Structure 1
Amino acid sequence: MDDRASGALAGMTALVTGASSGIGRETVRTLAGDGADVVLAARREERLEAIATEVTDAYDVRAEVVPTDVTDPDAVGALVDAARERPDGLDVVVANAGVAAGSDIETMSDEDYRRMMAVNTDGVFYLTRAALPALRESGGHLVYVGSFAGKYPRPYNPVYAATKWWVRGFAKSVSAQVGDDDLGVSIVNPAAVRTEFEVDGKSMADRYAPGEVVDPAEGADAVAFVARQSPSMVHELDLYDRDKLTGF
């Protein structure tokens, strides 16, 4: 029996936004390793193609690349339509795309503010609106990637934190709204993650010592755990040790 046939998500299709780096990229790898066919969405097509080739070769799954700007509602609708056309429909949607820019309120540019709001809130809304009918049909799972910044006051970047408070409140309200339907809605809240985000010119990958923050693969494991559960299970999963955080 091949890896795909033996995986916990064999026969399912998962869509991941923000799939070109960080938790998104590792989530594609992890879900594919569980046997799921994957639909990769982000703006950087070359990176998506490389990851798609990697998981297709490694796990004998199907991988489709759909370059997408999540701030464009028409593009997001087309993305979900493409995923729904897979032979087995759409079973898992991971709303992972997000961005951090700037930090201090007094020096933040209008461009940075609008970009964070557009990607981190508008993009999540557009994806949710487009995906719910498909997930209701399949009895699937919608997984939001939130942040510890959406649970505790965070002076370091108030606007980014505010968008993650929004995501968490939105996820919980969507879960309540579809509570009578056979589909799951959950949110995973990682601590600061070793990603390519840069804040004040310093990469988040280098900001913390080992063990202080979440590695992308750990975040991906949490997302995959949620995706494996029945729709009635798992609503919020936190991934951080507050005692280890030195930059909070």
Structure 2
Amino acid sequence: MSSSQNQGRVAVITGASSGIGAATARALAADGYRVALLARRLDRIEALAAELGNGAIAVPADVTDRDAVVAAAQRVQDELGGADVLVNNAGVMLLGPFSSEQRQDYRAMVEANLLGAITTTEVFLDQLKDGGSDLINISSVAGRTARAGNGVYAATKWGLNGWSESLRQELLPDVRVTLIEPGVVDTELPTHITHEATRQGVQQAYDVAPVKAEEIAEVIAFALARPRHLAINEILLRPADQLG
């Protein structure tokens, strides 16, 4: 779909203050979308909205707070006319050994990665079902493979995958659902890990030829640009030398 065909279409992106979210906002804005940038860090999304122009708005919202998401959806409706695309990108990757010391990290991952996506979709669903819309869920290769130290993170992504497939069937034909499963991507996710030994080990893996966030954004834009009769339901992508 050309940028001219996307004029007036609205894309809502959670976790838009950095990484895949910010890169996707830039890619979709370049394709003609007006974008609503949702994130907790208002200063970042305000700067990005100013950079993008074309009616882009910065909406402070934490996806774990339903009231904040409801307020965000109302702004999108009032200021942009409603969402045509929702990109559920917000999430955290707080890896570490399974122990009581990590229990707050486990809760944060479940609330942001899984419940955050579910809540945001539930709140925006009426706007999406208005016709010809897309839902993009950002999962992970961890939604297919689990390993020592990423159990709860993997559980959130496996859950996101299963929910996405169910939703895909339920929302046909009004909303196309696409699941994106990246491997190692050059984002700030590893810096949030609270378990120091795990953080250092993960950072080493991320320092070796990760995929760029902009490359994931290009794939998202490609999927959205397919004609409505074609749905790309699932995309798994890794650095070419990533084994697992």
Q: Normalization by structure 1: what TM-score?
A: 0.87
Contact 1:17 1:40 (8 Å CA) reproduced: yes
2:215 matched residue in structure 1:
218
Residue from 163, 174, 185 that aligns with 2:177: 185
1:19 matched residue in structure 2:
16
Helix, strand or coil at the partner of 1:153: coil
Shift of 1:82: 1.6
Large movers: runs of 4+ above 4 Å: 5-8, 203-206
Task: Give CA-to-partner distance per residue, 1:31-61, whole Å, 9 cap, x none.
Answer: 00111100000000001111111111xxxx1
Helix, strand or coil at the partner of 1:138: coil
Shift of 1:155: 2.5
Shift of 1:68: 0.3
1:69 matched residue in structure 2:
62
Shift of 1:160: 0.7
The answer to whether 1:49 aligns with 2:41 is: no
Shift of 1:148: 0.7
Shift of 1:130: 1.2
Rounded Cα–Cα distance in structure 2 between residues aligned with 1:144 and 1:108: 30
Helix, strand or coil at the partner of 2:60: coil
Q: Normalization by structure 2: what TM-score?
A: 0.89
Rounded Cα–Cα distance in structure 2 between residues aligned with 1:9 and 1:239: 26
* 1:210/1:101 CA distance change after superposition, 3 Å: closer
**One-letter amino acid of the structure 2 residue matched with residue 192 of structure 1:** V
Contact 2:114 2:156 (8 Å CA) reproduced: yes
Contact 2:7 2:32 (8 Å CA) reproduced: yes
Shift of 1:79: 1.4
Shift of 1:182: 2.0
1:238 matched residue in structure 2:
236
Residue from 85, 90, 98 that aligns with 2:91: 98
**One-letter amino acid of the structure 1 residue matched with residue 205 of structure 2:** R
Helix, strand or coil at the partner of 1:70: coil
Deviates more, 1:80-89 or 1:214-223: 80-89
Return 5+ residue gaps in structure 2 as ranges.
none
Correspondence list, 1:30-41, <5 A: 30-41=27-38
2:186 matched residue in structure 1:
194
The answer to whether 1:145 aligns with 2:162 is: no
CA RMSD of aligned residues (A): 2.1
2:205 matched residue in structure 1:
207
Return 5+ residue gaps in structure 1 as ranges.
none
Task: Give CA-to-partner distance per residue, 1:115-171, whole Å, 9 cap, x none.
Answer: 011101110110111122111103210110111110122334111111011111111
Deviates more, 1:230-239 or 1:158-167: 230-239
Shift of 1:215: 1.2
Contact 2:87 2:137 (8 Å CA) reproduced: yes
1:164 matched residue in structure 2:
157
User: How many residue pairs were aligned?
Assistant: 236
Shift of 1:208: 3.2
